Homo-oligomer: A and B are copies of this chain.
Amino acid sequence: MKNNQFAIVPTDSEAAIAELTKIHFITDDMTALKTVPAVYQALLSKSFPEVHSAAGLKHKFANIMATSQLTLADWLTTATVVNNQVFYNVGLQLLGFLPGHDFDLADPLLAMRDIQLPMVSDSAFDREALYYAWYLLLNTRGVKGQTLIELLTTRGYFVPFYQLPNDQKPLFFNGKAQAVFNTNDLIRDVVYVEAPLDTDADGQRDLLKVEILRPAETETGLKVPVLYTASPYNQGIDDVAGKATMHNVDVPLTAKTPDEKTYADVEAQPKATSLPAARPVNATTKHAEESFGREQSYTLNDYFLARGFAVVYAAGIGSVDSDGLAPTGDEDETTSTIAIIEWLTGKRPAFTNRDADTAIDAWWTNGAVAMTGRSYLGTLATAAATTGVAGLKTIISEAAISSWYDYYRDNGLVVAPDTFQGEDTDVLAAEVFSRSLKAGDAHRIQGKFDQKLAALTTGQDRDTGSYNQFWDERNYLKNVDKIKADIVMVHGLNDWNVKPRNVAHLWDKLQDVPVTKKLILHQGQHIYINNLQSLDFTDMMNMWLSHELYGLKNHAEDLLPNVLVQDNTTAQTWHAHDNWWQDADQALDFKVQYKELVPADHPVDQRAAHFTDKLPDKLFAHYQRHLDDWQADLLREDKTGPLYDHRLLFKSWQAPADQLLVGQPHLSGSVAVNQNFGMLSFMLIDFGKAQRLTVSPQMIASKALDLGYHWREDDLKDFKLAPASNYKMITKGHLNLQNRHNPWHNEALHANEFYDFNVDLQPLFHHLLAGHQIGLVIYATDMKMTVRGNQDLQYSLQLNKLALHIPMKPFKA
């Protein structure tokens, strides 16, 4: 294990002692203790909250080695000083590390360094130094990715703190809220928020079902902040309807009628809708009338439920027990999303039931809201943030869409999210329109929703793939300047579902917006990262939300790195950076010579290169069913490969040193095709035999992460190095040859004429090892993402015009 810990708040000795006193590790009776070992024993005795007798403790001490020869029990009987060898021998064992396997009792400091655990440098401790070392040890992460104080939490340490008076809650330790709230006593309420919308046109404002979990302490006056997750999936998914709506992608690409459109022609226009009056509020109550069983939860939220935060789930318009129609990303959806925040901040009514005769306030919250969640959930958090809605202090958006065009389209082409070929806004709407799962409700609303679905199908316009008003309405990037919430963004560099461009554009646009923003780029696909062994993400988010929602001055805004990136060449390695590509002042510039990518100042090839897109029927049919075979064949370098003549492949020389490829690679060139339509696809490849990380974290221990005490659990996972491979695809891009300048402007394309093109590929943060080579693949049909008509299209590229530009920083270990 390698520890990467960013959420330790630097604390001076005096403050550390005060904090240890606050959490009862230092107690009055300890002043009477005469020796440092006696104080140490007192601290250790409090580290077994499950043991309530001296005899029991003695046995636990006997289970631990203090030196190579003495158990802690034996050592304590004779010790006169506490040195750092004993302290860290014992400390490592308390953290779950095993002598002989994970470290050597003769040299624990070596392991502390190797595992990257924080430690104090004193070799022998006086009382104050011991306290300080103990404080740091409590904040040090163990073999299961939890700090010692968290491990003690999961064993009941904070149970006596459940009884603290409200004015001592929440309880912060080292800048992070602790689990002093009894999750057995959580209160679960359902309310119905009235949104300023009537998306189902029934003459009544849409009511939105909200599920609330809040600490019992709110009943006696504690005001708590809210983690709000807007999840259209939360009340169920209509898989059958989603599948029925899925589009056939085995259709031909067709020519688009050339136009002269500018952005003004596709800019979304305000919709003139008449909004029914708000319901009158004739009665109010503090008590909900409805509760719920098992909510669809999210483990990061569960963790905070034990620590003094409420959690709120809403599935929005079109979901079970709510009104409205699922719209996939339009402005109504954003309005629906922030209506919940407006209720939480006292600006909008909610009712106890759908008859809406009794209103209910969010009287139990301090009005500070964070939004959390991944994918569609994070997308709605982003959408909400771009409204600047008051009360939304921060969002933690994971794998979020920032523009729906960047999710379902690319440069004038239909380009599917990976593994969801044929999906589109209508498919997603059909899937999350969970009102269809309640037959009584569906009976009333299905007709209206079918109309909505037809409108989505029309609006999304798969025929052209061009950017239009429909997509412009679904582009949150236009409103980034309105953002007032601080932001943590998390994205996978191997996320080909929500592609990295989504986070890159948002990050770039945020550069000038006066909010605090943090970016975490991991090597995963479309995943959560709150259960990794190597990174203290959950602690970081605790520090962040304690700061953002409780106003704790823990310096989270400075302590968290601006850009934290998981290295792709070694396991469990994370590097802090000042920025992504915005501070890069170097670049790799390539042109081509025969099949090589060569430095731009070298002589270039004056010939044209050709490839044909059409495949033999049988091969094409095989690839339809075996997409990974297609990609493997596409990248085969031998001439016998079945796709050798169906793509161009250029390889660079070996990198002379480690390099960080950052930001959006840019490619320009000149292409001709034998029809009046066509497309190009691109990949960049890292060639070089190496062990590479698995794109999904692997299970280390099932249910090993307790999120509180006798509360919910998460699996402990991490990325591991897979067996050596010869290459890895590191980015992709797509271009409709009729959209050479803008996705909204369809240009003429005459058969067999050469046209210049420019394209930005999906952004990178890639550590290219010395000796590795960069590969550029140019092809047309992308079996995994584009339409697949298997048409007789022949492409030619003028090689002397091909130019590849990749922003770059030198790698510093």
**Given A56-B353, A98-B240, 20 other A-B contacts at CB below 8 A?**
A50-B290, A51-B290, A53-B290, A53-B353, A55-B355, A56-B352, A59-B353, A59-B354, A63-B439, A63-B440, A64-B439, A65-B439, A65-B443, A71-B440, A98-B439, A100-B439, A105-B439, A155-B292, A294-B703, A294-B710
A73 within 8 A of B: yes
A615 within 8 A of B: no
A24 within 8 A of B: no
Complex: A221 Cα to B194 Cα, angstroms: 50
Query: In the complex, which residues of chain B have a beta carbon less than 8 angstroms from the beta carbon of A709?
Result: 293
Query: In the complex, which residues of chain B have a beta carbon less than 8 angstroms from the beta carbon of A320?
Result: 63
Contact B289 A51 (CB under 8 A): yes
Contact B52 A290 (CB under 8 A): yes
Complex: A56 Cα to B190 Cα, angstroms: 11
Contact A355 B440 (CB under 8 A): no
A629 within 8 A of B: no
A101 within 8 A of B: yes
Which 5 residue pairs spanning A and B have beta carbons closest together?
A: A71-B440, A63-B438, A184-B184, A55-B355, A53-B289
Q: Separation in Å of the A83 CB from the closest CB of chain B?
A: 18
19 contacts between A and B (CB under 8 A): A50-B290, A52-B289, A52-B291, A53-B353, A55-B289, A55-B355, A59-B355, A61-B440, A62-B440, A65-B443, A71-B444, A72-B440, A98-B439, A99-B439, A100-B442, A101-B240, A105-B439, A294-B706, A294-B713
Complex: A709 Cα to B293 Cα, angstroms: 7
CB-CB contacts below 8 Å: A70-101 with B: 71-73, 93, 98-101
Query: In the complex, which residues of chain B have a beta carbon less than 8 angstroms from the beta carbon of A706?
Result: 293-294
Complex: A105 Cα to B442 Cα, angstroms: 13
Q: Separation in Å of the A337 CB from the closest CB of chain B?
A: 23
Complex: A712 Cα to B159 Cα, angstroms: 20
Residue of B nearest to A100 (CB): B439
A739 within 8 A of B: no
Q: Separation in Å of the A798 CB from the closest CB of chain B?
A: 46
Complex: A240 Cα to B56 Cα, angstroms: 28
Contact A156 B93 (CB under 8 A): no
Contact B291 A50 (CB under 8 A): yes
Contact B437 A98 (CB under 8 A): yes
Query: In the complex, which residues of chain B have a beta carbon less than 8 angstroms from the beta carbon of A321?
Result: 59, 63
Q: Which residue of B50, B101, B440 contacts A73 across the interface (Cβ within 8 Å)?
A: B440
Query: In the complex, which residues of chain B have a beta carbon less than 8 angstroms from the beta carbon of A353?
Result: 53, 55-56, 59
Complex: A761 Cα to B459 Cα, angstroms: 65
Complex: A190 Cα to B73 Cα, angstroms: 21
Q: Separation in Å of the A374 CB from the closest CB of chain B?
A: 15
How many copies of this chain are found per oligomer? 2
A523 within 8 A of B: no
Complex: A58 Cα to B356 Cα, angstroms: 13
Q: Which residue of B69, B156, B184 contacts A293 across the interface (Cβ within 8 Å)?
A: B156
Residue of B nearest to A96 (CB): B437
Residue of B nearest to A53 (CB): B289
A382 within 8 A of B: no
Residue of B nearest to A437 (CB): B98
A331 within 8 A of B: no
Q: How large is the interface on A (under 10, 10 to 19, 20 to 34, 35 or more residues)?
A: 35 or more
Complex: A788 Cα to B62 Cα, angstroms: 45
Query: In the complex, which residues of chain B have a beta carbon less than 8 angstroms from the beta carbon of A64?
Result: 438-440
Query: In the complex, which residues of chain B have a beta carbon less than 8 angstroms from the beta carbon of A93?
Result: 439
A481 within 8 A of B: no
Chain A 288-307 against B: per-residue CB contact (8 Å), 1 yes, 0 no? 01111110000000000000
A645 within 8 A of B: no
Chain A 161-182 against B: per-residue CB contact (8 Å), 1 yes, 0 no? 0000000000000000000000
Query: In the complex, which residues of chain B have a beta carbon less than 8 angstroms from the beta carbon of A63?
Result: 320-321, 438-441
Query: In the complex, which residues of chain B have a beta carbon less than 8 angstroms from the beta carbon of A289?
Result: 51-53, 55-56
Complex: A69 Cα to B318 Cα, angstroms: 21
Asked if A293 meets B52 with Cβ closer than 8 Å, knowing A64-B438, A101-B240, the reply is no
CB-CB contacts below 8 Å: A428-448 with B: 437-444
Q: Separation in Å of the A354 CB from the closest CB of chain B?
A: 5
Complex: A353 Cα to B290 Cα, angstroms: 47
Complex: A353 Cα to B53 Cα, angstroms: 8
Q: Separation in Å of the A15 CB from the closest CB of chain B?
A: 29
Query: In the complex, which residues of chain B have a beta carbon less than 8 angstroms from the beta carbon of A99?
Result: 439
A450 within 8 A of B: no
Query: In the complex, which residues of chain B have a beta carbon less than 8 angstroms from the beta carbon of A231?
Result: none
Query: In the complex, which residues of chain B have a beta carbon less than 8 angstroms from the beta carbon of A293?
Result: 50, 154-156, 706, 709-710
Asked if A71 meets B354 with Cβ closer than 8 Å, knowing A98-B437, A290-B53, the reply is no
Asked if A156 meets B291 with Cβ closer than 8 Å, knowing A354-B59, A439-B99, the reply is yes
A357 within 8 A of B: yes
Query: In the complex, which residues of chain B have a beta carbon less than 8 angstroms from the beta carbon of A713?
Result: 294
Contact A50 B439 (CB under 8 A): no
Query: In the complex, which residues of chain B have a beta carbon less than 8 angstroms from the beta carbon of A442?
Result: 100
Q: Separation in Å of the A332 CB from the closest CB of chain B?
A: 23
Q: Separation in Å of the A707 CB from the closest CB of chain B?
A: 11
Contact B51 A294 (CB under 8 A): no
Query: In the complex, which residues of chain B have a beta carbon less than 8 angstroms from the beta carbon of A101?
Result: 240
Complex: A154 Cα to B291 Cα, angstroms: 12
CB-CB contacts below 8 Å: A705-742 with B: 706, 709-710, 713
Contact A352 B53 (CB under 8 A): yes
Q: Separation in Å of the A133 CB from the closest CB of chain B?
A: 20
